Chain A
């Protein structure tokens, strides 16, 4: 990875949380990296999730690959769990919430209900992404290209170069960690304390290895990955990360 020589302003801070998550600071703002792959901004009671890719299964089915049709309920079930545990005031869907433009129309009625429940009694913001540039048609919530919160800029696609204060998704970061017994590949957050990129939250959303060139030039120094393990989030240094 090419790391720009620009000096980093913010320093790393990681602390395990009893919920299995990892407390950290992004550009000075307190953030909790949740085991579910969601980001929790306590100051604003904001829950941020990226890349749900709802109805990816049916998008494949329409082309003849009959993937199990349970991805949307799985993803929304996990989101509802987070909402129940944290009772956020704001829920931010950080783009690519739908897998394609016709996904909303394919939602099963009970999944529509699950989505409504997420926004019930709180602010629901749809930050739009490349897969769902227009935002929802019939579902509640506000649509935005980006959002300022806790001094952070929340947008779907990471902007090139170092971007202090940016929280984004889009790249689906995944970490491969190698150990004596073999290697493990997990979805992860990736952050250099200046900016953070969230893992994809969707059940069928794949992961892109953080050593891929798509990530190069984005960080002010070697970033850290926060890999989603079975019971907790593990902080992993750049040198322990392997390519695929």
Chain B
């Protein structure tokens, strides 16, 4: 498939062949295949690992076409549109693309356009578009909502969609797919080109990117790049020191530091911002050689991140501790080692991260996994083996969200009047909405117009109106303008600016905010009291106070900062990796890959309780203190476990077991109760029917529904994030809460479109109902009950989490925990 039947000479114009030759390169087979697909006027999806010249392969056909076209007298409009999931990547690709353009002296203008692009440049790009525009899905949505979008895109020949695998299964992916369908109407000859890292099922991506009015998946040709050298992946065994619980991998920091010394540049990936801060602190504590080690995560101020990136590109750094902010294929230098602190959670994400080491295909990438606890040791081994076997986990295909569709419909009306039937067909030509029902589409249009309420009070306030010509158009210019201010499908949690407090207020109090250090999620600050210290941006700060949107801090001495508690990864273990972990656990011959202390732990579990089969779920019951515990090990991730625990608690309540509390992590869930649990009918307790009424009645009242509703209300345009001259009452802000709207709407119109959207979002993103449903089906008839006199070795990690959640970091917490930990371990091994 990848190999081209046409000789290179016929595909590459001399100018391009010379350029390759001059650099001592020869065009790769997949690059030629992409040119060939373009000449055949076919849509194409290129799947290749990082470092395979993937981006160039995407652009070569456009460069050739542009280089060979005859000179024109009038401006010709946009030829190629490139969409990247990250602003930084668009800017980076602009630089990389302009290198061959300049070196070959091609008459081609390639420019990026992101939210950070200056106003004058953006205005010029609208009037006089470049040949190639590099931008993000949000900017594309904005361009599509402008008047004159049709004219702007009518000469477009090619759209290049980079890093599709990170986009397609999200609301941003929904929005992008709709906009592609839109511009395809403006430019019927438009060709779609997708670029993706290796995925388990390319058909899912094909279905997302293809034109379903023209044959769907069959209209996209698959081109595969070379597989690249096998990565070398090791798991740090930390023989004899693997902790029972925890997420920081503190025990291994010295080894991590020593490993960093052996590399040119190491990327140290962690799963959360707080883990990043922690690891950064620990590494600097050990950094006797003063190696240049930097920190990079999404909460840091943009300038600070750019500085780190630039230093990396110049080769001035030896290590960067980072979160998923450095996941994507930005080429910033000579990284030759990837260290994954704490568990990777999924094989595909890990392959992507490993690909960051050595952007050269012929050399293997080197990676080291550092498990933070014993279950993670199993998980890291399973991930290492999955990667070696080239087995990946994938995102399931998704159905386009209706809140995103509402935003898109409004955008269409802002750009030009639309015919509702034609728009329906256009929307259904996009992958995520190919099965959209007419009733749903009608409801969305009604929502966009008047809010979609049963009570028709708002007919005179319509946002879009159906004219005498039968076309729908935006009510007035102001409405269109306000919509454009609010375009996009990213709803981030409320972020507060962290600023250095300036002294000089009354009574020596902080007067106000000075220099901005970065941004922090609202929820994180809620865990802190003024006067407490925390680590942020690699330094220790004291919280002075919180004003409207500013967190005021002052530098604090570095000794013993209070770190807000955080619970491991925000990613759930992938279903595939969870299966591999269960298999590894069951197969005793396999245990030899594990360090001796973890092996002994498994053996103790086998002897004192039991090790379940790979398709079974272990359920333990035991008394402890004056409580009765039930611990299960479904390995389905914290989200699904939390939902399960909520539902089980309700059921146990009804059975009179007197449940008192629960705790969950990625591997297990523990519930404790007043009364013994051994006699409970577990098959009935875990019956799938809990996903019926129990789920709905719990969900309707849960904060997760409210959070999901807020997100949907913002995306659908019910609530505007940005409003010109927003009202403020004498300088003080009145919180206008979407919770109030949710409560009222739920009582008066429970079947409203946005409540449906919120329920779907909550069920997938926030509580993982699908995962839970599959799990309940899997374990039906396969629950292995192990009644015990006291706790088991497996249960120690989850029971240790109880202490953590109860006393989130007051003075002496570490001591209390350590004590508790020793007690528990001694008890388990009695």
8 Å CB contacts to A: which residues of B424-458? Answer: 447, 450-453, 455, 457-458
Given contacts A70-B748, A206-B740, contact A64 B808 (CB under 8 A): no
* Cβ–Cβ < 8 Å partners of B749 in chain A: 68, 70
* Set B463, B478, B482, B744: member contacting A70, Cβ < 8 A: B744
Interface string of A31-74 (1 = CB under 8 A from B): 00000000000000000000000000010011011111111011
Closest A residue, CB atoms, query B475: A64
Q: Decide if B479 touches A68 in the complex (CB within 8 Å).
A: no
Set of chain A residues within 8 Å of B447, measured between Cβ atoms: 66
CB-based nearest B residue for A55:
B457
Closest beta carbon of chain B to A53's beta carbon, Å:
11
Q: Are the CB atoms of B736 and A68 closer together than 8 Å?
A: no
| A192-244 interface with B by 8 A CB criterion | 203-209, 212-214, 243-244
Check A74/B748 contact, CB under 8 A, given A66-B450, A206-B734.
Answer: yes
Contact A208 B734 (CB under 8 A): yes
| Residue numbers in B under 8 Å from A69 (CB-CB) | 451, 453, 455, 457-458
Nearest chain B residue, comparing its CB with the CB of A108: B457
Query: Is B737 part of the binding interface, using a Cβ–Cβ cutoff of 8 Å?
Result: yes
A-chain residues with CB within 8 Å of residue B475 when the two chains form the complex: 64
B residues near A214, Cβ cutoff 8 Å? 730, 732
Q: Is the C-beta of B590 less than 8 angstroms from some C-beta in chain A?
A: no
Cross-chain contact of A62 among B461, B478, B733, B808 (Cβ < 8 A): B461
B640-665 vs A, CB cutoff 8 Å, 1 = contact: the mask equals 00000000000000000000000000
Q: Is the CB of A64 within 8 A of B463?
A: yes
Smallest Cβ distance from B672 to chain A, in angstroms?
Answer: 16
The count of chain B contact residues (Cβ–Cβ below 8 Å) is: 39
For B546, list chain A residues within 8 Å (CB): 243-244
Count A-side interface residues using an 8 Å CB cutoff.
33
**Shortest beta-carbon distance, A28 to chain B, in Å?**
31
Number of A-B residue pairs with CB-CB distance less than 8 Å in the complex they form = 94
CB atoms of A66 and B451 under 8 A apart: yes
Choice from B463, B730, B735, B748 contacting A174 with Cβ under 8 Å: B735
B732 touches A206 (CB 8 A): no
Q: What is the distance, in angstroms, from B775's C-beta to the closest C-beta of chain A? A: 26
Task: Say how far B396's CB is from chain A's closest CB, in angstroms.
Answer: 31
Return chain B residues, CB-CB under 8 Å to A205.
740
Q: Closest CB-CB distance, B709 to chain A, in whole Å?
A: 11
Please give the distance in Å from A17's CB to the nearest CB on chain B. 24
Q: Is there an interface contact between A58 and B457, defined as CB atoms closer than 8 Å? A: yes
Nearest CB of B to A174, in Å = 7
Is A180 interfacial (CB-CB < 8 Å)?
A: yes
Interchain CB contact under 8 A, A65 and B719 = yes
Chain B residues with CB under 8 Å of A208's CB are 732-735
Type the 1/0 row for B106-144, where 1 means its CB is closer than 8 Å to any CB of A. 000000000000000000000000000000000000000
- Docked-complex contact B747 and A74, CB < 8 angstroms: yes
CB distance from B685 to the nearest CB of A (A): 25
Is the pair B461, A61 in contact by a Cβ cutoff of 8 Å?
yes
Contact of A66 among B458, B730, B747 (CB under 8 A): B458
Interface set of A (CB-CB < 8 Å, partner B): 58, 61-62, 64-71, 73-74, 106, 108, 172, 174, 178, 180, 182-183, 203-209, 212-214, 243-244
Lowest 4 CB-CB distances: which A-B pairs, in order? A66-B451, A70-B748, A69-B457, A206-B734
A-B contact pairs, 9 of them (CB 8 A): A66-B452, A68-B741, A69-B455, A74-B747, A178-B526, A182-B526, A204-B740, A208-B735, A244-B546
